[in-house]
Amino acid sequence: MRLTYTDIWGQFLRNIGKSGTSATSTEGAVIKSDFNFHLGSRYQLIMAKLADYMTQGTKTASTVAAQQYYAYPMGVVNIEDVVVTIGTVKYPLEVINSQRQWDVLNAIPIQATVIPQFVFPRRDDFGIWPIPQGIYTITFNYHLRDRSLLVDDYTAGTVTVANASTTVTGDSTTFTAGMVGRWFTVTDTTSADYGYWYRIGGFTSTAVITLEQSWQGTGAASLAYKIGQCPEIPEEGHIILVDGVTADFYAGYKDDIEQATWFNNAFFTGDGNNNSRVEGDQKIKGGLIGLMNMYADRNQTKIINRKPKLNPLGQKVWGYSIT
C-alpha cells in the first residue's frame, strides 16, 4: 500500500497512542520534530539496504570545453552509466574505478578531436577522458538518494481529469512547482478510478499540473484528490518506516526500551518478537530483511558488467574529423 508522509505520521501517532495530536500544539511540535529526524534516518537506511531495488534515476547536463571534472547531480549514490551525445550519436562511457588506470590514461597524449570514452567516479565529482573539447550533452543513469520526507499532503479544492490526458485542472487550488515529483491520486470514491497513483511531471500554474503518464481512467470533474510525498521504495515497505520511527520514539523520547525493542524487531523482521538481524535469512518474510530478500537481484544491472576486465590501453580510441 502506498503511503504518503501524512499517512506515515498518522499511523505513527496511532502506534504511540497519540492519535489526533496536532503538530501545532506544544507537545505535538516536539513529537513531530523527533518524528521527522528519525523518519529521515530510517528512510535512508532502507534506501541503502535495498541496493538491488530499482532506484535508478536519469538526469542530463552539459560538458564544458576543456573541463575534465564535473559535480554529480543532486541525490546520486553511485553512477550506473554515463552517455555522451555528440550530434546525433550517443557514446556510452566505460566506468573506471582505479586511480592508477586513470592516471595512466591522463598521461597519454591524445588529439583534441578524440571523443570521450571513460568516466572516473570520485567522492565529490567525476572525471571524463579524453577531456571534452566541446559542449556535449551528458546523460547520467544513477542510483538515487531521495530527500527526507517532510511535506504534508495537499488536498485543497477539486480537480478535473480527462482520459488519455496528462493534464490535471484544479478548482480552488494553489498548485506549486515544488509538487513536481510528488504523487497524485483521486480520493473521490464516486470515481471508479480512485486510488491509482500518478507521479507529477510538470507544473503549469496554480490551477494546472501535468502527470508523467496519461490518466488511464474515465474523465471526470470536481473530484476530491490528494498530492503527497511518498517514499521511493517498494509500496509494501512503506509501513516498515512507521515501525522504525516508533522504535526510535520509545528508545529516546519515552525511554521505554521494551516497547522500543518490540517495534525495532518489527522494523527488521516484521515480527516484534523476532530479534534476528541476519540479512539473507529466508525464514524472515517481513520487515526490512524480508523486503531485502524479496527484492534481491531484481534491479536492472544484470545486463551490465560491474567489474569488467578493463584494459584502457588495449582499446582503440574513438575519434572524429572536423571538415
Instruction: Please state the domain extents for the chain.
Output: 56-146, 152-228
Express each pLDDT in 206-237 by its tens digit.
999 999 999 999 999 999 999 999 998 889 99
Q: How far apart are the first and last CA of the chain?
A: 58
Nearest to 228 by CA among 40, 5, 2: 5
Cβ neighbors of 108 (< 8 A, separation 6 or more) are 313
Note down pLDDT in tens along the chain; length 323 residues.
899 999 999 999 999 999 989 988 999 999 999 999 999 999 989 988 886 565 667 788 889 999 999 888 777 777 777 899 988 899 999 988 899 999 999 998 877 677 889 999 988 889 999 999 889 998 887 777 778 899 999 999 999 999 999 999 999 999 999 999 999 999 999 999 999 999 999 999 999 999 999 999 999 999 999 999 999 888 999 999 999 999 999 999 999 999 999 999 999 999 999 999 999 999 999 999 999 998 886 654 433 444 445 455 455 555 554 44
Express each pLDDT in 74-108 by its tens digit.
777 777 778 999 888 999 999 888 999 999 999 98
Residue 38 to residue 248: CA distance in whole angstroms: 7
Express each pLDDT in 186-202 by its tens digit.
999 999 999 999 999 99
Counting residues of the chain whose pLDDT is more than 90, the rounded percentage is 66
Domain 152-228, what fold?
Answer: Elongation Factor Tu (Ef-tu); domain 3 (2.40.30)
Q: Are 196 and 187 in contact (CB under 8 A)?
A: no
Q: What is the pTM of this model?
A: 0.78
